[in-house]
Structure formats: structure tokens, C-alpha cells
Structure 1
Amino acid sequence: MAYPNALSAYRETRVRTASQGQIIIMLYDEAIKQLDRGIELLTLNQKGKPDPSRIEPINKALVKAQDIITELMVSLDFDKGGEIAQNLFSLYTWFNRELLEANLAKDVERIKAVRTMMNELRGAWQEVVVKTATEHQNNSSAGINIAG
């Protein structure tokens, strides 16, 4: 069946043609998806101790989210971003530390706190991307004056 290959090709094309801002939003979307997965698996288990069969999937989801957050960290441009980049770096560091502790303790509330903050940041990035695209479109839609 060719569907998995088609989906993979679609995703690859989507990433290759995306702007830097759109890629950041995709990273946030995937991190939030992984956090939701971890929350879902832990929420189903709140009988004192996590179901041993869910430990590995919980760990995988949270580690994937941490990997994505690390990618967001290394994508920061401290020269252009200045104080905002420094603040994001500190926040991403805190996210990773919280997720590490949450994973060890299987603490769903810590994961939820990180997820909430990541969702807020994703919304802010979405606004920036839309504003930048609108400004770019307004600047390029003026066209060329061939009348002289």
C-alpha cells in the first residue's frame, strides 16, 4: 500500500516549503501532541501507581516532547532575538526540567502546566506568522507600475 509513502512525502514537502515561523508552529504542534499523549496515558492510570504497560509509551511521548523543545532551543537566534531569545531559552530550559521531573514522578499536573504554557507560546507564534505573512503580502501586492 502506497499510503504511508504518500503521507511521508506530503509531510516532507510541507516542511520543505514552510517558512521558519511555520516550522516553529509545527514543532509546537507536535510537542503539544506528545504532551497530550503523555497526559492521556497518565490520566488513565491515576490509581496510585501507573500501569506498568504504559510506562514506556508515557516515557516515549515525554522524551519526544523534550527533544522538540531542545530543537526549539537550538533554533533561537540570540543576535536577532536579544532579550526575547534569552527569555525563551530560559523557559524552554524550565520546560525540559519540568518534563524530566514529571516523567520520573509520573506527575500529570506538571505536564499539564508545561502544555498550557506551550499552547500560549504557540498562539503567540501563530500571531507573528500571520502578521508577517500579511505584511509580506501587502508589500508584494503593490505590483509593478508599468504606466511609468
Structure 2
Amino acid sequence: MADRVSGGSRVVPANPYQAYSESSFSGANPATLVVALYEGAIAAVRDAQTFLDSGDIMPRGKAITKAVNILTELLASLNYEKGGEIARNLQQLYSYLQRRLMEAHARQTREPLEEAENLLCSLLVAWQKVAQTESDVHKGAADGHTAIVEQNPEPWQAAEYGMYYFEGTATAPGISVAC
């Protein structure tokens, strides 16, 4: 999105959300991007639970769609060559989570949403540790998602597709989700 000039001397981003996401993820490692995507998915699942409880069908559907789309982005970012078994296991788990979310929406039931939230929280906690640790012990885990950076020269661009799905969730990217 293009910037506009305000007053002839100051450049103001046309989209403040884009500016925030650019600054939040500029120079971020793949694990940090994965953490942000998990946070967005968890927030969307929690929103879906709230909308299920209140009987708001359309917002619930949108929240579930956000979570499913974030999982799709995570699936697309897996690097099977570098990530090996970890990437294959994550692929199976993400696909399972997508099915459970769709089941929750179709059956209008809370249990699959709670399961998805719990699994995503477990993944979030693990990836937060990976993101905080620069040791080679965790390199294999981070490599499962290195394609997210390799396909895009700027890390914030790598998450741009997924970042769209953070809009309207209770938690913005870069703000930790409590699990």
C-alpha cells in the first residue's frame, strides 16, 4: 500500500496496521513469525468461542475462518526438506486442527474449539521457547518453517497473508496470548 505525504514534509503510512506489522516483524526470525501466527490463531479461536456462546453465527464463522486461514498459512510455510519429521508432524496437526475448527462451526459445539485452543497453546509455548533460544538444539524445529522467510525477502512480508487474519481479533500481533 502506498504512503501519502502529509504537509509536504512528513510521510505517513496509508495503512497504520501495515506500518505496525512491518515494524513488529522486521528482522524477525522464523520462530518469532510462527509465534505471532499461533497467537493470532488462538485469539481467533477464543473469539469463536465467545461468539458461539452469544449465538452470533456470522462473527463466529469469520473467527473460525481466520483461525483456519492462519493454519493454512502455517501449512504453506512448512519446509519439509529442512524440517523433516517435525514438518510432517506439524502438517498432520495443522490439518487436524482445521478439521476440528470446521466441525465446531458446522455442529455449533464448543468442545472442538476448546481442543483447538489447548493444542494451539501447547504449540505456542513450545515455539516461544524456540524463538527465545538461539541454540542449534532447536534449529531443526525452526527449520520446519524456514520457507516462510526464504520465500519473502522481508520477514514482515512473509507473514503479510497471515497478518490479515489478525484484524478484528482480541489480540494484536506482538502481544502475548496467555495460555
Structure 2 counterpart of 1:122: 124
Separation of aligned partners in 1, 2:106 and 2:22: 34
Structure 2 counterpart of 1:97: 99
Matched, 1:73 2:83: no
The Cα of 1:12 is off from its aligned counterpart by: 2.3
Tell me the TM-score normalized by structure 2.
0.65
Larger Rg: 1
Tell me the TM-score normalized by structure 1.
0.78
The equivalent position to 1:16 in structure 2, one of 18, 21, 26, is 26
How many residues were matched structurally?
125
Structure 1 counterpart of 2:87: 85
- Judged with a 3 Å threshold, the aligned counterparts in structure 2 of structure 1 residues 106 and 4 are, in CA distance, closer, same or farther, namely farther
Q: After the TM superposition, which of the residue ranges 26-35 and 9-18 deviates more from structure 2?
A: 9-18
For 2:78, what is the secondary structure of its paired residue? Answer: coil
Separation of aligned partners in 2, 1:8 and 1:14: 10
Mark the runs of 5 or more structure 1 residues left unpaired by the alignment. 45-50, 137-148
Cα deviations across residues 72-104 of structure 1 (Å, max 9, x unaligned)?
Answer: 111111111111111110000100011111111
Identity %: 34
- Judged with a 3 Å threshold, the aligned counterparts in structure 2 of structure 1 residues 4 and 108 are, in CA distance, closer, same or farther, namely farther
Structure with the bigger RCO (C-alpha within 8 Å, sep 6+) is 2
The Cα of 1:41 is off from its aligned counterpart by: 1.3
Separation of aligned partners in 1, 2:86 and 2:15: 39
Matched, 1:27 2:37: yes
Separation of aligned partners in 1, 2:49 and 2:110: 6
Mark the runs of 5 or more structure 2 residues left unpaired by the alignment. 1-11, 137-179
The Cα of 1:40 is off from its aligned counterpart by: 1.1
> Could you tell me which amino acid in structure 2 is paired with residue 12 of structure 1?
E
The Cα of 1:29 is off from its aligned counterpart by: 0.5
Q: Compute the RMSD of aligned alpha carbons.
A: 1.9
Cα deviations across residues 105-133 of structure 1 (Å, max 9, x unaligned)?
Answer: 1111111101100010011001111111x
> Could you tell me which amino acid in structure 2 is paired with residue 116 of structure 1?
N
> Could you tell me which amino acid in structure 2 is paired with residue 32 of structure 1?
I
Q: Identify the structure with the greater helix proportion.
A: 1
